[in-house]
């Protein structure tokens, strides 16, 4: 059984820090007398990639000033487009069986609204956005999607859409006398195919040059969704309804922004991933172990301003250079402070339950 354990001294350092700072993912709950941690896949995978990056981003809130062609701009395009696409499909699956569902209004009017709200036009020169055909291409992609996965074709019962979990402590990862850890996230759609109740997750990618599923077989994200669904499902539908279904799978809905030249309808792929009881148990143990390491690194950062580094990601962060590259290469603390002051702004820190923060 994985445990989180910190020395008294480390715990005192952490309490002192949390008493004077507000971070969305960790706080000291005075009433409970415990540290409450709410983590999601994005936060933990950032931490696992490089603790230094995590401290700059999720503790100090430093974000690179957006510039076209930078790694930060790339990251924001993937993130912002993903947010818009997820919103569109959540609406689709909430409404597509309603008698007055209007396909063109959904794809073009609502698509335009979400596109503008997220200000996606600022990425028109990004290669992926350009290749997709910008807003027009986005509308076409939505129509294609809805034509392929029509209400008649979808042999799925929609159980729920946009189910967020996190700070309301829906999905427990760990609890002891001093610390509680919860998983946060958002299930786009929960479906029932007659045999399985499962989350349906949408992933957009530039193209399907490689086997698209490769990317997700070992990804902690889908495993976390199955883990979460098993915990929250009894709060959504009656237990008798669940007993007749297995809840061990996730339906991956993969969408290519590029239109394949052989057959345009090949831009959509759908597959299920199975997660065994053992996989879910080891997932939980890994999350707890990661949080243990994270707390140790956080204490080090609070005490010294230093964090451990994984320099293998310096030139390989989201297909580009890590946006803290120029910070980390500075010869001394003054150089670091100057680079952070000149090239970065402090923005709200990633908060899973408010992912529209851009």
User: Would you state the structure tokens that stand for residue 186, as one six-digit string?
Assistant: 């958002």
C-alpha radius of gyration, the chain, whole number: 22
Rounded least distance, CB 324 to ligand SF4, Å: 4
- Other beta carbons within 10 angstroms of residue 16's beta carbon come to 12
Nearer of residues 57 and 205 to ligand SF4, judged by Cβ? 57
Nearer of residues 157 and 329 to ligand SF4, judged by Cβ? 329
Nearer of residues 236 and 314 to ligand SF4, judged by Cβ? 314
Rounded least distance, CB 71 to ligand SF4, Å: 10
Nearer of residues 269 and 321 to ligand SF4, judged by Cβ? 321
d(CA 54, CA 294): 9
Q: What is the 3-state secondary structure (H, E, C) of 93-135?
A: HHHCCCCCCCHHHHHHHHHHHHHHHCCHHHHCCCHHHHHHCHH
Nearer of residues 255 and 327 to ligand SF4, judged by Cβ? 327
Give the binding site for ligand SF4 (CB under 6 A): 50, 52-53, 309, 311, 313-314, 317, 322, 324-325, 328
Of 153, 152, 157, residue with least CA distance to 237: 157
Rounded least distance, CB 319 to ligand SF4, Å: 14
Rounded least distance, CB 214 to ligand SF4, Å: 23
Coil/strand/helix, residue 252: strand
Rounded least distance, CB 316 to ligand SF4, Å: 8
For CA atoms 207, 222, 287, 26, give the dihedral sign: positive
């Amino acid at each position: 059984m994985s445990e989180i354990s910190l020395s008294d001294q480390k715990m005192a350092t952490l309490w002192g820090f949390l008493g004077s700072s507000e971070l969305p993912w960790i706080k000291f709950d005075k009433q409970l007398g415990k540290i409450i941690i709410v983590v999601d896949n994005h936060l933990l995978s950032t931490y696992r990639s490089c603790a230094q990056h995590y401290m700059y981003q999720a503790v100090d809130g430093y974000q690179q000033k957006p510039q076209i062609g930078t790694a930060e701009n790339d990251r924001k395009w993937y993130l912002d487009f993903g947010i818009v696409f997820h919103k569109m499909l959540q609406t689709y699956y909430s409404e597509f069986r309603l008698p007055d569902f209007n396909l063109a209004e959904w794809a073009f009017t609502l698509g335009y609204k979400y596109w503008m709200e997220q200000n996606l036009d600022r990425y028109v020169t990004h290669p992926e956005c350009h290749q997709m055909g910008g807003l027009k291409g986005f509308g076409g992609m939505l129509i294609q999607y809805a034509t392929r996965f029509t209400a008649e074709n979808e042999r799925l019962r929609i159980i729920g859409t946009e189910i967020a979990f996190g700070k309301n402590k829906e999905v427990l990862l760990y609890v002891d006398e001093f610390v509680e850890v919860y998983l946060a996230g958002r299930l786009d759609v929960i479906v029932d195919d007659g045999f399985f109740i499962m989350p349906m997750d949408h992933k957009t990618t530039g193209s399907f040059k490689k086997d698209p599923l490769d990317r997700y077989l070992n990804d902690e994200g889908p495993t976390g969704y199955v883990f979460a669904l098993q915990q929250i499902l009894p709060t959504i539908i009656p237990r008798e309804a669940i007993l007749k279904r297995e809840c061990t799978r996730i339906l991956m809905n993969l969408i290519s922004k590029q239109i394949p030249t052989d057959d345009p309808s090949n831009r959509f792929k759908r597959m299920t991933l199975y997660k065994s009881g053992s996989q879910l148990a080891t997932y939980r143990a890994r999350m707890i172990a990661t949080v243990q390491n994270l707390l140790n690194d956080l204490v080090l950062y609070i005490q010294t301003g230093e964090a451990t580094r994984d320099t293998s990601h310096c030139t390989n962060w989201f297909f580009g250079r890590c946006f803290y590259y120029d910070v980390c290469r500075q010869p001394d603390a003054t150089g670091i402070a100057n680079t952070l002051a000149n090239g970065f702004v402090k923005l709200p820190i990633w908060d899973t339950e408010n992912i529209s923060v851009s």
